Chain A
Amino acid sequence: MAEVFVLVEHRRGEIRDITFEMLSGCRDVAKSLDASVTAVLLGKNVDNFVEQLKSWADKILVVEDDKLENFNAEAYQKVLSHLIKERNPVLTLIGHTSFGMDLAPALAAELGIPLATDCIGFEVKDGALIAIRQMYGGKVNARFSFKKSPYMATIRSAAFKAEELGLSAEVEKVPSPLTEEVTTKRFLEYVEAVVGEVDITQAERIVAIGRGVGDYSDEKVRSMIEELANELGAVIACSRPIVDKGWLPKDRQVGTSGKTVKPKLYLALGISGAFQHVAGMSASETIVAVNKDPKAPIFTVADYGIVDDLFKVVPALTEKIREIKGGS
């Protein structure tokens, strides 16, 4: 029977969510391709992971090696290309994560396998795989076909739901094909983002700013936002561009590469709503978005939206909130 490979992603002793999302999300496509699902686990001392994965796959393929303790794209590529050549899975799935982005393109190129990155869904048409992915910052979806099989794809975080499967996987241990130390790329250490005085993950109310606020180093812009946040008793967080410009510290960034927040109120100002940002705030209780682009993806996540210039809306909103507070 054909196999679908799902690469297990783990870091610092924990299996990452994307793994379960892929294992669960690929069942339909595996069925359409007449394939079983094999979780491919690379690492060192991974017995604990094997136990956790048993109910999520038909088979678990385990390669243990000291050289696989921490993720290393070069070492992973060597092992995976060996496994893929040996077993010829019809489809290999890898997370579209920092880890997968580093690994998949070079692996696919080495093997000459077509790769569709950042996929959010699949279709099988006349036995051939079609990948669905987004372009232009999520404003457009695209269907891509693969020139030949086998296929490889990287999967966007949270594109699929991880739903308990209740399977009992067969476990197969494979000797590591790594004969020597990987010298071209060496892991040294992890570094955590510097923790500032405000913990946005604990905030009940968040005013979040994005590219649409323009120059946040401008005193007028800053005080406009701060006044609103003060009236709401909210902390100020942001999307990536604000941190890239150095206007707010990294610990204020909401999204996949920053923090995940679940406040009672998330007020997004000038944030377009790229999936990387949405992944960090979609669980908020009430989401409000102000953006002048009516097609900004943020409006598909928000409960309430105002399509207008935030420089007009924000001062008016601050004023109205003051009135309400003054009247009570």
Chain B
Amino acid sequence: MKIVVCVKHVPDTAEADVVITPDKKGIKKEGLAFGINEWDEYALEEAILTKEKYGGEVVAITIGGKDSEDTLRRCLAKGADRAVRVEDPALEGSDAYALAKALGAVIKKEMPDYDIIFTGTQAGDDGFAQVGQTLAETLGIPHAALVTKVEIQDGKAKIHRELEGGLEEVLEIQLPAVLAVQTGINEPRYVSIMGIRKAKKKELKVLNLSDVGLSPDEVGEKGSLLKLEELYVPPVEKMAEILTGAPEETAARLASILDEKGLIPK
């Protein structure tokens, strides 16, 4: 099987202090740890598992600067066969729609005979949950988002999609297709020393827009349909009463609050 996995290099902001830049268009990168987008880690694992089961080749693709090669190397170390990074100044300011066009162009160039394309359902930074499905539309193939299980059989895939409230739906989807996976679909493997060693010998190609046959007008702000005007700190409507002091003190205060409210069973 010819397998594509699209990945993104993103900052981990879960426990970090997020500071908006003075131009209000981005966040300060200093002090933030970057790595593979959480959803994409699962997409990568699903791509490798698919290859291990059915044979074939996995190509990992990203759009981003030099630093995003860390994420591609991680893909190679885990088992992707080759990696492609697209970088071009014209990509600056691209929305999800423009990024999907760019990814589609790379895929058509690098693996035109793909059977399956994995992406994460969303990225932890912008949270659009849009690129995979849009990519499918630009390639003219079916897609499914929030995929939690994949079984491939005879040019089709039987998949599960996560719905709300613990419910899932089971679908049959024709391949080739884009499957945008949800976290928890598998157990991503760790990077092994052997994997890192092997990755050094694998191809990591860097392309620009003209290499993939796109004009600068098709991406970036010109090729986008949505424009970020400004970022701002969310207004706080309500804030918890914060208990302060050493752990001993805060714990004692909390215990007595719980006791007053009759929340401690006796």
Residues on A lying within 8 angstroms of B by beta carbon are: 11, 16, 70-71, 73-74, 96-99, 101-102, 104-106, 108-110, 112-118, 130-131, 133-148, 183-193, 205, 211-212, 231-233, 240-241, 243-246, 250-251, 253, 256-260, 264-265, 272, 286-289, 292-296, 299-309, 312-313, 316-317, 319-321, 323-325, 328
Judging by beta carbons under 8 Å apart, are B254 and A288 in contact? yes
Closest to A258 in B: B166
Q: Which residues of A contact B133 (CB under 8 A)?
A: 101-102, 104-106, 109
From A146, A188, A240, A253, give the contact of B158 (CB < 8 A): A188
- Total B residues in contact with A, Cβ cutoff 8 Å: 87
Interface residue? B146 (CB, 8 A):
yes
Judging by beta carbons under 8 Å apart, are A138 and B160 in contact? no
Q: How far is the CB of B156 from chain A (nearest CB, A)?
A: 9
From A251, A272, A301, give the contact of B14 (CB < 8 A): A272
Judging by beta carbons under 8 Å apart, are A183 and B259 in contact? no
Q: Which residues of B contact A117 (CB under 8 A)?
A: 96, 127-130
Q: Which residues of A contact B254 (CB under 8 A)?
A: 288, 304, 306, 317, 320
- Given A109-B100, A109-B137, A137-B13: A324 and B166 interface contact (C-beta under 8 Å): no
Closest to B248 in A: A316
Judging by beta carbons under 8 Å apart, are B226 and A116 in contact? yes
The B163-183 residues at the A interface (CB cut-off 8 A) are 163-174, 177, 183
Judging by beta carbons under 8 Å apart, are B232 and A115 in contact? no
Interface residue? B154 (CB, 8 A):
no
Stretch with Cβ within 8 A of A (4 or more), from B63-71, B106-114, B197-205, B238-246: B238-246
In the complex, which of the residues B16, B158, B254 has the most CB atoms of chain A within 10 Å of its own CB atom? B254
From B183, B224, B261, B263, give the contact of A244 (CB < 8 A): B183
Encode contact with A along B8-46: 1 for CB under 8 Å, 0 otherwise.
000101111110100000010000000000000000000
| Distance, CA A249 to CA B166, complexed state (A) | 11
**6 A-B pairs (CB sep. < 8 Å):** A96-B129, A98-B161, A101-B146, A114-B225, A191-B170, A193-B168
- Given A243-B184, A292-B15, A295-B17: A305 and B145 interface contact (C-beta under 8 Å): no
Q: Which residues of B contact A233 (CB under 8 A)?
A: 265
Judging by beta carbons under 8 Å apart, are B257 and A304 in contact? yes
Judging by beta carbons under 8 Å apart, are A192 and B134 in contact? no
From A96, A148, A190, A312, give the contact of B167 (CB < 8 A): A190
- Given A232-B264, A244-B183: A320 and B252 interface contact (C-beta under 8 Å): yes
The B217-250 residues at the A interface (CB cut-off 8 A) are 224-234, 236-243, 247-248, 250
Q: Which residues of B contact A183 (CB under 8 A)?
A: 174
Q: Which residues of B contact A293 (CB under 8 A)?
A: 14-16
| Distance, CA A142 to CA B126, complexed state (A) | 10
Q: How far is the CB of A261 from chain B (nearest CB, A)?
A: 12
- Given A105-B137, A188-B171: A264 and B146 interface contact (C-beta under 8 Å): no
Contacts beyond the supplied A184-B174, A258-B165: 14 A-B pairs with Cβ under 8 Å? A112-B225, A114-B226, A144-B227, A188-B171, A253-B166, A257-B162, A257-B163, A257-B165, A258-B166, A265-B258, A289-B240, A300-B236, A306-B254, A316-B251
- Given A109-B137, A246-B187, A304-B240: A212 and B130 interface contact (C-beta under 8 Å): no
Judging by beta carbons under 8 Å apart, are B229 and A130 in contact? yes
| Distance, CA A115 to CA B226, complexed state (A) | 7
Judging by beta carbons under 8 Å apart, are A134 and B234 in contact? yes
Q: What are the 5 tightest A-B residue pairs by CB atom distance, in nearest-first order? A: A114-B225, A193-B166, A244-B184, A316-B251, A320-B255
Q: Which residues of A contact B97 (CB under 8 A)?
A: 108-109, 114-115
- Given A115-B130, A190-B168: A106 and B143 interface contact (C-beta under 8 Å): yes
Decide if the interface of chain A is mainly helix, strand, loop or mixed: mixed
From B170, B230, B251, B261, give the contact of A320 (CB < 8 A): B251
Judging by beta carbons under 8 Å apart, are A300 and B264 in contact? no
Q: How far is the CB of B128 from chain A (nearest CB, A)?
A: 5
Q: Which residues of A contact B237 (CB under 8 A)?
A: 300
| Distance, CA A328 to CA B243, complexed state (A) | 25
Q: Which residues of B contact A96 (CB under 8 A)?
A: 129
Q: Which residues of A contact B259 (CB under 8 A)?
A: 324
Judging by beta carbons under 8 Å apart, are A286 and B263 in contact? yes
Q: Which residues of B contact A253 (CB under 8 A)?
A: 166
- Given A240-B183, A321-B258: A113 and B134 interface contact (C-beta under 8 Å): no
Q: Which residues of B contact A70 (CB under 8 A)?
A: 169
Judging by beta carbons under 8 Å apart, are A259 and B229 in contact? no
Judging by beta carbons under 8 Å apart, are A300 and B143 in contact? no
The B123-149 residues at the A interface (CB cut-off 8 A) are 124-134, 136-138, 142-146
Interface residue? B121 (CB, 8 A):
yes
| Distance, CA A99 to CA B169, complexed state (A) | 11
Judging by beta carbons under 8 Å apart, are B225 and A188 in contact? no
Q: Which residues of B contact A303 (CB under 8 A)?
A: 240-241
Judging by beta carbons under 8 Å apart, are B18 and A295 in contact? yes
Interface residue? B53 (CB, 8 A):
no
Q: How far is the CB of A213 from chain B (nearest CB, A)?
A: 13
- Given A98-B163, A139-B18, A258-B166: A147 and B225 interface contact (C-beta under 8 Å): yes
Judging by beta carbons under 8 Å apart, are B121 and A101 in contact? yes
From B124, B144, B243, give the contact of A137 (CB < 8 A): B124
